[in-house]
Structure 1
Amino acid sequence: MTNTIDSGVINTLNSGGAGSGGLNARQAEDLRNNFMTLLVTQLQNQDPLKPMDNHQTTSQLAQINTVSGIEKLNESLSGITSQIDAGQALQATGLIGKGVLVPGERVLLSQGEDGEVSTTPFGIELDQPADNVTVTISTGDGQVINRYDVGPVQAGVESFSWNGETGDGQAAADGAYRVSIEATREGEPVPVQTLNYAMVGSVTPPPEGGEVQLDLGAVYGRVGLSDIKQIL
């Protein structure tokens, strides 16, 4: 009999039992039992003049033990991941009913019965500071109704509000408008992410391998928790 145990069992364990989406616990246990049966049979039938040396035996036992340890580690990590996901979903429920800034270019204007104008906030996200930031408010068909500078802005997330007026100081009509932002530094354009306001209506637990989803209504749909740039 050969002095080296059939490597098929070990290879199957290494490729299937230790990887995600591989063997289930029952299959891995069966393979371990087969491995031990083969090892004991080999020891019982080995050539007395050419016995398996201790290094071979130790190496093969180490492989099977390593696979077992990886499987147990994967089970533990899976449990921890589930707990983290549940904790994130629970924390995210605290956002229900709150306003947030998410990537988008929409700003809403409404006028109350008392004539007071109300607009939804908007914001920007900069990777680096900007010497000057220019805000442009336009209608859905692209007509510019106001443009103004907000001056220098530091890197990070900043929120702003529009007073609801056109460029000539008149009150704009109720409705939805588009906000676009340009940022420059020493005369050169700076990448900028425009943010708009939305309200969190509900929270959906994360799918497998995903993240918590927040329902922002029919207009904005669902976004991931990582899309929330600021809580207002």
Structure 2
Amino acid sequence: MAAVSNINTQTLADINGTTKTQTANEAGSADRFLKLLVAQMQNQDPLSPMDNAQVTSQIAQINTVSGIEKLNTSVGGLSTQFGQMQALQGAALVGREVVVPGNTLAIKDGVGTGTFELSSAADEVQVEILDKQNNVIEKFKLGARAAGVNDFDWKPNSTAGAVSFRVSAKADGATLTPTELVRDTVRSISTANNQLTLTLKNGGNVAYSDVRSFT
């Protein structure tokens, strides 16, 4: 909780500092706008002077520019704060297992395991085990599976050459589109342009937004 408090305090300090700078910038923008308007009026064609509607329109633009600057500043402040909150959440995942998109087959003690997600229940699911060239080494049926995240185990005589898997599914004869997933441990996190990236133990980087679940 202390870490959250520190981040919020710093964020408020940053926003207060930004507000002071913003006020000065707005004043400068309005001053420049008025100088341009006066110069335009001084150099206007006497035979075709600006009418009241034109002058009113020009002055109204001062408020428009100021409003846009305020909006941009507010959005920027919210974006920064969101990035800080996301980094805090990501740090809590270091060392934990996450489920993310991918089709790498996990092999341990001669058993291959994989994970996939179904948007709806399937009455027929088939798994294909692939080698580095995406050639099918073996395929087997899992039967009916419920909607959501599902796991499978593959126990062959040899797992040599097996590196990935592919899942297909059907429901009432209609083809479904499963999403292959992998379970991996988060090793570290990094942020760039308010985007949080997780580095996984078994290699590869994934976006924080791609995490399906964690344990």
Q: Same fold (TM over 0.5)?
A: yes
Q: Is the 8 A contact 2:169 2:175 kept in 1?
A: yes
Is it true that 1:211 corresponds to 2:204 in the alignment?
A: no
With over 3 angstroms needed to count, the CA separation of the structure-2 counterparts of 1:43 and 1:119, relative to structure 1, is same
2:181 & 2:210 partners in 1: Cα distance?
Answer: 10
Q: Is the 8 A contact 2:129 2:162 kept in 1?
A: no
With over 3 angstroms needed to count, the CA separation of the structure-2 counterparts of 1:41 and 1:118, relative to structure 1, is same
- Specify the structure having the higher radius of gyration (Cα): 1
Query: In the comparison of the two structures, how many residue pairs are matched?
Result: 192
CA RMSD of aligned residues (A): 3.6
2:101 & 2:162 partners in 1: Cα distance?
Answer: 16
Is it true that 1:183 corresponds to 2:143 in the alignment?
A: no
- Give the letter for the 2:34 counterpart: M
Is it true that 1:159 corresponds to 2:150 in the alignment?
A: yes
Structure 1 gaps of 5+ residues are 1-24, 112-116
CA-to-partner distance for each residue in 1:30-85, whole Å, 9 max, x for gaps?
65433212434566798999985543332211112101110121011101101101
TM-score, scaled relative to structure 1: 0.67
Q: Is the 8 A contact 1:105 1:178 kept in 2?
A: yes
Structure 1 residue 213: Cα displacement: 0.3
Match of 1:229 in 2: 212
- Give the letter for the 1:160 counterpart: D
Is it true that 1:192 corresponds to 2:178 in the alignment?
A: yes
Q: Is the 8 A contact 1:204 1:214 kept in 2?
A: yes
Q: Percent identity?
A: 34
1:179 counterpart SS class: strand
Is it true that 1:131 corresponds to 2:131 in the alignment?
A: no
2:42 & 2:118 partners in 1: Cα distance?
Answer: 71
Structure with the largest fraction of helix: 2
1:57 counterpart SS class: helix
Structure 2 gaps of 5+ residues are 1-22
Match of 2:84 in 1: 86
Structure 1 residue 140: Cα displacement: 5.0
Structure 1 residue 145: Cα displacement: 4.7
Structure 1 residue 181: Cα displacement: 1.1
With over 3 angstroms needed to count, the CA separation of the structure-2 counterparts of 1:46 and 1:128, relative to structure 1, is same
1:225 & 1:199 partners in 2: Cα distance?
Answer: 13
- Give the letter for the 1:149 counterpart: L
